[in-house]
Amino acid sequence: MNYYTVSLLGSILEPLTYSFSEKIPLFTKVKVTLNNKELYGVVLEAVDAQEFKTLEILEITQEFFSKKQYELASFIASYYICSLGEAFGLMLPFSSADTSTHEFAEINSKIILSEKQTKALDFLQQHKVALLFGDTGSGKTEIYMKYFEKVLAQKKRILFLMPEISLTPQMAHRLQEHFGNAFIMWHSKLTPKQKKETLEKVYDGSAKIIAGARSSLFLPIKDLGLIVVDEEHDDSYKSSSRPRYNARDLAVYMGQLYDVSVVLGSATPSLTSYVKFPHIRLKGGHFNSTKEFIYEAKEESLTPLIFHHLKNTLFQKKQSIVFLPTRANFKYLVCKDCGTTHQCPYCSVGMSIHQKSNAIKCHYCNYMEPIPKICSKCGSDDLSSSRLGTAEALKEIQEQIEDVRVEQFDRDTITTANKLKKALKRFNDKEVDILVGTQMLSKGHDYHDVELAVVLGMDNMLSIPDYRSREKALASLIQIAGRSGRASDAKVLVQTFNEEFFKAYIENYEEFLEFEKLFREGLYPPYKKLCRILFADKNGLKAQEKMREMEEKLRVFENIEVVGAKKCAIEKVANKYRFEILLRSDKAVDLIKAIRMCKNTMAEIDMDPIDFS
């Protein structure tokens, strides 16, 4: 009998010992039982006969993980402080039933780079990890595509990461047109059938360029030659559930592990990437148009000035986009008599109004109830809504501008890839005059004829209690402004009381990054490492007790600083009370060591946190 340690896929348990009559190659995917349940696991190593009774492995599958996948899983488990089973649970195995049969076809290149673009490509090829810091419309995509051609000529494959929201039909069409069937897309909106078909192409080798959201990092890709992380600043690269990995950072680690080059690209790169990696600056765009920035010092609302510009743009038969940071109708429902905000019964947050479904919804736990007519505290019927949302803005525009064709463009309306494709087509076919949307508006979409961009809610973004709030607000404004003026001159109307800040850096993001370095040094990333430890339980006292217990142990370590230990900003989510500890240190290794020594069963570790709510 042979004995093996097996890591259960997706499980928080430590590896368990199982037996089997035959020899099994390491990292093979196997089926086992635990507590009368059938589960899958990965064989880690052969061990000596055990004194205790072991269960037998039920089935040896035709699937296996590579040694590199094992090393990647080990790194994830170590750095993000989770189990090896959870790390392996992210990955898709190779299949011994499949062999690569597809050859690398010759590509008849039609891409001609400018002198600036050629210089940028040369720079990227000279560095193992490099940042392409290119303005919107400066031709980053053409540089990527030219680089892809060079890698394909070496009979290597490419992984092209984009934020889920940026996996646009336009980008897919462009890459498909140029690279044909060698290009595939992988993201959460694929149906099970589409996922199966796409995975077959990865297995048989016909997929040479795999574009996808963060989960595509874990596809079983042979002969990897290049990883590109586009829109590298985007927060959606960070997983909000265990293991709380950051796909951008893992891509850089994978570059070292697989010995392949990594390119990070953005018009508004994160300060972390700007400081850590060599970069090349690509200024200007293909468009000779100019942008005029108009600032209005008003609270978030659609003002006479905004309507004047919207009507004027409409009169000239041009299109507009209106950006708000809030989806649904409003953020909160507030009683005018007693000031009570109508909160979710399971989370300590206000609930958003959704007029279409005549309901209020919690965007944290998805609890819904009909829109209340009276205040739950004092019984008053004088309820008002604070902060403008996309649906309310759309309604207001329709009331104020006759015969306007206006459409909502946010996660409430764009729920599938097909809906996104159709909405963009309607807008670019001039069937829609004004798009009203949230962050989705700014993500890599090509709008051909936008002459006005209206940007609301910038001050709300600036006031978020987050050390990156200025970076996030400025980056959002630049990204949204970049969607206008692609064919002719354009106006960008920004509603803010912080004109001085935005005016200083809107056309010089590099100067902002240099200034921000001074603010962060000695306090925040990239100069310090942060870790957030969460405690959540239905019993608030128990969660607090567990937090205090761990905090006490952590304070003994001299090379880490306990910045704070308190209730979370949003104290209750999904009926669980939440507490947190925020740690700071010069080195990640010191944080990991201290946490491992002090961790208790309730502690949820968030290394390199980006969410402080």
H-run or E-run covering 78: helix 67-79
Cβ–Cβ < 8 Å for 295, 503: yes
**Spatial separation of the C-alpha atoms in residues 598 and 133, rounded to whole Å:** 41
pLDDT digits (tens, 9 = 90+) for 415-454: 777 788 888 889 888 999 999 988 877 775 667 788 999 9
Closest alpha carbon to 574 in 368, 369, 364, 370: 364
Query: DSSP assignment, residue 526?
Result: T
Q: Count other Cβ atoms within 10 Å, centred on residue 329.
A: 24
Query: DSSP assignment, residue 441?
Result: G
Residue ranges of the chain assigned to CATH 3.40.1440.60:
2-95
Q: Which residues contact 271 (CB under 8 A, 6 or more apart)?
A: 468, 471, 513, 516, 517, 520, 525, 526
pTM of the model: 0.88
Phi, psi of 230 (to 5 degrees): -85, 155
> Could you tell me which CATH number the domain at 2-95 has?
3.40.1440.60
CA separation, residue 281 to residues 123, 133, 143, 269, 554 (Å): 10, 5, 13, 11, 42
Place of tokens 């005059």: 433
Residue ranges of the chain assigned to CATH 3.30.70.560:
529-607
Taking the CA atoms of 576, 462, 442 and 399 in sequence, report the sign of the dihedral they define: positive
Band of pLDDT at residue 331, cut at 50, 70 and 90: low
CATH topology of domain 529-607: Alpha-Beta Plaits (3.30.70)
pLDDT confidence of residue 327 = 54
H-run or E-run covering 462: helix 458-462
pLDDT digits (tens, 9 = 90+) for 176-234: 888 988 999 998 778 889 899 999 999 988 999 999 999 999 999 999 999 999 999 99
Which CATH number among 3.40.50.720, 3.40.47.10, 3.40.50.300, 3.20.20.120 corresponds to the domain 291-327+389-519? 3.40.50.300
- For the cut 70, the answer to whether the pLDDT of residue 531 exceeds it is yes
H-run or E-run covering 534: strand 529-537
The CATH architecture to which 115-282 belongs is 3-Layer(aba) Sandwich (3.40)
* Cis before 243? omega within 30: yes
- For the cut 60, the answer to whether the pLDDT of residue 287 exceeds it is no
pLDDT confidence of residue 288 = 58
H-run or E-run covering 19: strand 16-20
pLDDT digits (tens, 9 = 90+) for 241-250: 999 999 999 9
Band of pLDDT at residue 329, cut at 50, 70 and 90: very low
> Of the given ranges (136-140, 179-183, 273-277, 494-498), which has the lowest mean pLDDT?
136-140
Closest alpha carbon to 613 in 366, 421, 438, 363: 363
DSSP string covering 171-240: HHHHHHHHHGGGEEEE-TTS-HHHHHHHHHHHHHT---EEEESGGGGGS--SSEEEEEEETTT-GGGB-S
Closest alpha carbon to 345 in 364, 327, 326: 364
pLDDT confidence of residue 544 = 96
DSSP string covering 322-335: EE-S--SSEEEEEE
User: In 553-583, which positions are buried (b, 16+ CB within 10 angstroms) versus exposed (e)?
Assistant: ebeebeebebeebebbeebbbeebbbbbbbb
DSSP helix/strand/coil, 455: strand
Residue ranges of the chain assigned to CATH 3.40.50.300:
115-282, 291-327+389-519
Tokens of 306: 């905004």
Q: Which residues contact 279 (CB under 8 A, 6 or more apart)?
A: 130, 131, 132, 133, 269, 273
Rg of the chain over CA atoms, in angstroms? 26
DSSP helix/strand/coil, 398: helix
pLDDT digits (tens, 9 = 90+) for 53-84: 899 999 999 999 999 999 999 999 999 999 99
Place of tokens 């809504």: 385
- For the cut 80, the answer to whether the pLDDT of residue 101 exceeds it is no
> Of the given ranges (41-45, 222-226, 382-386), which has the lowest mean pLDDT?
382-386
How are strands ordered across the β-sheet holding 2-8?
55-56, 16-20, 2-8, 37-47, 28-34, 59-64, 94-95
Query: DSSP assignment, residue 307?
Result: H
